Structure 1
Amino acid sequence: MEKTSYLDIYDEFREEIQAIFRSRLLTQMLVALGGGSRSLSDLRDITGSSSQALIPKIRQLESAHYIESERGDYTLSPLGRIVEPEIERLVTLMGVLQRHRDFWIQHDIESIPPVLLKEIGDLYNSDIVRDVEENIFAVYTTFLNVLQNAKWVHAVSSIMSPAHAEAMMGAARQGKPVELVVSADLAGKLTAEPYIDMLKSLADYRDFRIYVSPVSVRLGMTVADGCLSLGFYKRGTDAYDAAVDLISLDPTAIAWGERLFQHYKQRSEPLVYNL
């Protein structure tokens, strides 16, 4: 049997699909009820609308079996509990893409695996840090602050400078667990001067590990217990954009960054070099 296409499904149910997103109040109420039951008064405060405006929309959601009345309050029905998280996911996805629109447009984000691209809404609570004339070391300073305040450090990168390497290895010398996944090209550079002496100096540090990714890495990420720093190559070029990073202190974004690190680490092998 031939699989039904998504376009066919949309054509068949477009009225039901469009109904939710066509109405600000329907969307707001469903998302609000995703956080628990609400009274009519609560919904008025959340939406900024009158009871006269809300009640017909409530009846519409009840008729669609997305919400139910429970002891005078409104709550999601079993069907509503299926639908609402998908609405919330789409809202946050569009939010993060629009909030940092230029950042996503101007950079190559294809090194993010599809499963994590679907969860990119987790990065909504983030900011963009740029090197500007008034602060030409803004991105590097932020990187140093991440290392300084971290209890542990995980990173993925295909680029390195002696200053960045020294900062990472300095964190390891302070007793902080540091793990780094690098591209094959960068691994070759790390086993030569000026980096090899740095690596040899950390030979006795069991919590310092470097892994080599067998696949291309076109991003630079540092994630720690308190912060995520994420950068990319400029789209359509082989130039890493060291002057712009996405930064987040949000635990949800940090968890997203850790999943990205584990994605690369699980596919990598330990770096081998002569002491």
Structure 2
Amino acid sequence: MRSSLSDTIWLSEKRKRLLLLLMEGPRDMDQIKKSLNVTSKAMMPQIKILMDNDLVLEEDRVFSLSEVGKIIVDNMNPLLSTLEVIEENPEYWATRDLSPIPSRLTQKLGELGDCMVIEPDINHLFDLPEEFTENLGKAAKVRTMLSYFHPLYPKLYSEISQKGIELDLIFTEMVYERMIEECYEEINTMANSKNTKLYILKNDIATTIAVTDMFVYICLFNKNGIYDHKKIMSFDDSAIKWGERFFDSYKEKAEQINKL
């Protein structure tokens, strides 16, 4: 009796790993044993189950995915990647307000890849993380949306602007008003820079994001609407592309500031 496809895939780690391996291309048994660190004796029964369910084909002792197998594995990858991201930091994701993230991107959290949660100790609660500030100055392009005012942001982004780094900066209305009131010199420097574009977002949003050609940095509020100083950061290429789509979704709603 054939097992359900769901059981065939998920109830065996060996079968799951083999399917993912074959997504990269056909493999013979020696290559499978080496890649998965298994023996022929352990692997052959699992291969037979996959073949019986028309997920894997064999030709001249070389194994490959069937067309149906390719469709299934292609859809497995996003789920597995998302599970890996959440399982790496389950408490963080369980306590976040994810509503500011566009729904099409929450479904692709796995693209954040190998992301770290940055949580400062009590003595550095109001400092910006070194991982963020040091890498920001090395970037060729910086795109940031600020939803809360941090006293170090005006000087930091003014210096970025003066370095000739391409800078797109979105403020919420409340942050913009405070910048004008308390940090006019810095925001004026940015406004007069040829490589900087400033935008204002009419709606308040409970997140801050910075995405560069090197990393993505995100500050999500917790479910109580409180910024608790926890951030995530990833240097993966897929995470950067994810962050760019996140930023662009709000840039489309923002108005460019042409004159202070």
TM-score relative to the length of structure 2? 0.91
Q: Which of 52, 75, 78 is the matching residue for 1:63? A: 52
Structure 2 unaligned residues grouped into runs of 5+: none
User: What secondary structure sits across from 2:233 in the alignment?
Assistant: strand
Pairs within 5 Å for 1:70-109: 70-109=59-98
Other-structure match for 1:6:
none
- In the alignment, the residues of structure 2 paired with residue 266 and residue 102 of structure 1 have an alpha-carbon distance, to the nearest angstrom, of 32
Q: Is the 8 A contact 1:37 1:74 kept in 2?
A: yes
Q: Is the 8 A contact 1:154 1:180 kept in 2?
A: yes
Deviations 1:48-95 (A, max 9, x none): 332122212212212222111234211111111111121122111111
* Amino-acid identity (%): 20
Other-structure match for 1:204:
192
- In the alignment, the residues of structure 2 paired with residue 216 and residue 70 of structure 1 have an alpha-carbon distance, to the nearest angstrom, of 59
- In the alignment, the residues of structure 2 paired with residue 134 and residue 204 of structure 1 have an alpha-carbon distance, to the nearest angstrom, of 36
User: What secondary structure sits across from 1:59 in the alignment?
Assistant: helix
Other-structure match for 2:255:
269
How far 1:272 moved relative to its partner?
Answer: 5.3
Other-structure match for 2:242:
256
- In the alignment, the residues of structure 1 paired with residue 202 and residue 258 of structure 2 have an alpha-carbon distance, to the nearest angstrom, of 14
Give yes or no for the alignment of 1:47 onto 2:33. Answer: no
TM-score relative to the length of structure 1? 0.86
Instruction: Give the aligned CA root-mean-square deviation in angstroms.
Output: 2.1
- In the alignment, the residues of structure 2 paired with residue 57 and residue 221 of structure 1 have an alpha-carbon distance, to the nearest angstrom, of 44
Q: Is the 8 A contact 2:145 2:169 kept in 1?
A: yes
- In the alignment, the residues of structure 1 paired with residue 258 and residue 205 of structure 2 have an alpha-carbon distance, to the nearest angstrom, of 19
Residues 188 and 171 of structure 1: CA distance in aligned 2, closer, same or farther (over 3 Å): same
Deviations 1:1-59 (A, max 9, x none): xxxxxxxxxxxx99322221011121111011111111112222333332122212212
Give yes or no for the alignment of 1:143 onto 2:132. Answer: yes
Residues 51 and 131 of structure 1: CA distance in aligned 2, closer, same or farther (over 3 Å): same
* More moved, 211-220 vs 160-169: 211-220
Pairs within 5 Å for 1:236-255: 236-237=224-225, 239-241=226-228, 243-255=229-241
User: What secondary structure sits across from 2:137 in the alignment?
Assistant: helix
How far 1:137 moved relative to its partner?
Answer: 6.2
Other-structure match for 1:4:
none
Residues 14 and 159 of structure 1: CA distance in aligned 2, closer, same or farther (over 3 Å): farther
User: What secondary structure sits across from 1:209 in the alignment?
Assistant: strand
Q: Is the 8 A contact 1:226 1:249 kept in 2?
A: yes
Structure 1 unaligned residues grouped into runs of 5+: 1-12
Q: Is the 8 A contact 2:198 2:256 kept in 1?
A: yes
- In the alignment, the residues of structure 1 paired with residue 129 and residue 20 of structure 2 have an alpha-carbon distance, to the nearest angstrom, of 39
Give yes or no for the alignment of 1:217 onto 2:202. Answer: no
Residues 197 and 143 of structure 1: CA distance in aligned 2, closer, same or farther (over 3 Å): same
Q: Is the 8 A contact 1:29 1:43 kept in 2?
A: yes
* More moved, 198-207 vs 256-265: 198-207
**Amino acid in structure 2 at the alignment position of 1:107:** R
User: What secondary structure sits across from 1:161 in the alignment?
Assistant: coil
- In the alignment, the residues of structure 1 paired with residue 3 and residue 48 of structure 2 have an alpha-carbon distance, to the nearest angstrom, of 20
Q: Which of 221, 230, 233 is the matching residue for 2:221? A: 233
Give yes or no for the alignment of 1:159 onto 2:159. Answer: no
How far 1:273 moved relative to its partner?
Answer: 4.6
How far 1:139 moved relative to its partner?
Answer: 4.0
Residues 65 and 194 of structure 1: CA distance in aligned 2, closer, same or farther (over 3 Å): same
Q: Is the 8 A contact 2:97 2:222 kept in 1?
A: yes
Alignment: residue pair count: 259
